[in-house]
């Protein structure tokens, strides 16, 4: 007959403690460095950009009007130049960072 998961786990830990195997290090023992932070940020911007493109694509397929209609509605809001700049920057910064950091990874 098969053993339970608890018995398997108990045998596993007994075997490891008898053989004096080291445990895998936890993330909290690593010293954060610039390359580590840049790599994590690169992955995060990649995920965010792919989600953004996917959501934009689904919206383009499902919304009843064409893009110029929604662009005109956005212009009708009368947002100030500071908000428009922040919106453009929040779209352009992840694209630029991910692109340049991708080139850095390749080099």
Binding residues for heme: 98
CA distances from 36 to 33, 45, 79 (A): 5, 14, 38
Number of C-alpha atoms within 13 angstroms, CB side, residue 60? Answer: 9
Binding residues: 98
CA distance 64 to 39: 39
């Amino acid at each position: 007959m098969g053993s339970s998961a608890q018995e398997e786990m108990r045998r596993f830990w007994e075997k490891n403690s008898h053989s004096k195997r080291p445990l895998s290090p936890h993330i909290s023992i690593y010293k954060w460095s610039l390359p580590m932070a840049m790599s994590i940020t690169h992955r995060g911007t990649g995920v965010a950009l792919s989600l953004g493109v996917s959501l934009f694509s689904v919206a383009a397929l499902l919304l009843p009007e064409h893009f110029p209609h929604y662009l005109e509605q956005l212009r009708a809001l009368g947002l100030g130049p500071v908000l428009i700049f922040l919106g453009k920057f929040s779209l352009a910064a992840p694209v630029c960072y991910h692109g340049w950091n991708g080139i850095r990874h390749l080099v």
